[in-house]
Chain A
Amino acid sequence: GGIITQTPKFLIGQEGQKLTLKCQQNFNHDTMYWYRQDSGKGLRLIYYSITENDLQKGDLSEGYDASREKKSSFSLTVTSAQKNEMAVFLCASTGRANTGQLYFGEGSKLTVL
């Protein structure tokens, strides 16, 4: 088995601040994802990456940057934190042979003051 680790679990920042979330997986999966979940809502895709150094925009990419410098890690940067984007950010991964079944991390909760 493997695990997806997201850090930090809780992130508090000031409005306008640049904030970074990190995700590590030891499944040796090719594809990784970042989703945003607002309280009581569904998951919206921000960015995904099908291999090292690849980046694909999701439906909610504006205001975010991502980086996949290694196969095992995928980071997400909030370029200028806003109060209306307080949410839980979820990282997930899937292997090439696995037709889309995702494995999720525990989430990182962002609070903007």
Chain B
Amino acid sequence: AQKVTQTQTSISVMEKTTVTMDCVYETQDSSYFLFWYKQTASGEIVFLIRQDSYKKENATVGHYSLNFQKPKSSIGLIITATQIEDSAVYFCAMRGATSSGQKLVFGQGTILKVYL
């Protein structure tokens, strides 16, 4: 069975600093996809970044990057030069590429608060 766990409930950081949010996952699939999504205060959920399990390079999109540690089943999200508008809830998610088909499961979320 697939499972995604985010243990950090809430993080507060000063603007322009770097923050890392943790996520660990469980899957029986040998190939899988990992995602991070952002939910704003309005409730809107948007896709941020993806890591394919077969890729060794960490994905980077804008000021978002990933720290993929496959042996530890860990996929951390790093946000550099944080801005006030980065304040939101961040969800980690995963989907298997084989047996579990299109089933996509989410973690519990981490609240990020960026202050001046």
B43-61: CB near A (< 8 Å → 1, else 0) gives 1111100101000000000
Taking CB atoms, residues of chain B closer than 8 Å to A92 are 45
Which of A18-26, A65-73, A74-82, A95-103 forms part of the interface with chain B?
A95-103
Contact A42 B107 (CB under 8 A): yes
**A48–B103 alpha-carbon span in the complex (Å):** 7
What's the least CB distance linking A39 to chain B, in Å? 11
Contact residues on A (Cβ < 8 Å of other chain), bracket:
20 to 34
With both chains docked as a complex, state the minimum distance between the C-beta of B32 and any C-beta of chain A, in angstroms.
9
Question: Contact at B105–A59, with CB atoms within 8 Å?
Answer: yes
Minimum distance in angstroms from B100 CB to a CB of chain A = 10
Contacts of B46 in A (CB 8 A): 104
Contact assessment for A100 and B104 in the assembled complex, using a CB-CB cutoff below 8 Å? yes
Closest Cβ of chain B: how far from A32's Cβ, in Å?
9
- Whether a CB of chain B sits under 8 angstroms from the CB of A50 is yes
Q: Is the CB of B105 within 8 A of A94?
A: no
A90 contact set on B, CB distance < 8 A = 45
- Name the interface residues of B84-116: CB closer than 8 Å to any CB of A: 91, 93, 95, 97, 101-109
A42 touches B102 (CB 8 A): no
B104 touches A102 (CB 8 A): yes
With A99-B33, A101-B47, A102-B47 as known contacts, state yes or no: A94 contacts B102, CB within 8 Å: yes
B102 touches A50 (CB 8 A): yes
Is A33 a contact partner of B104 (Cβ separation < 8 A)? yes
Q: How far is the CA of A48 from the CA of B35 in the complex (A)?
A: 18
A41 with B104, Cβ < 8 A, contacts A88-B43, A101-B35, A106-B43 known: no
Contact A56 B101 (CB under 8 A): yes
Instruction: Say yes or no for B37: interface residue by CB 8 A criterion.
Output: yes
Q: List 26 A-B contacts (CB under 8 A).
A: A33-B104, A42-B107, A42-B108, A43-B106, A45-B106, A48-B103, A50-B101, A50-B102, A56-B101, A56-B102, A56-B103, A59-B105, A94-B102, A99-B95, A100-B35, A100-B50, A100-B104, A101-B50, A102-B35, A102-B37, A102-B45, A102-B47, A102-B104, A104-B44, A104-B45, A104-B46
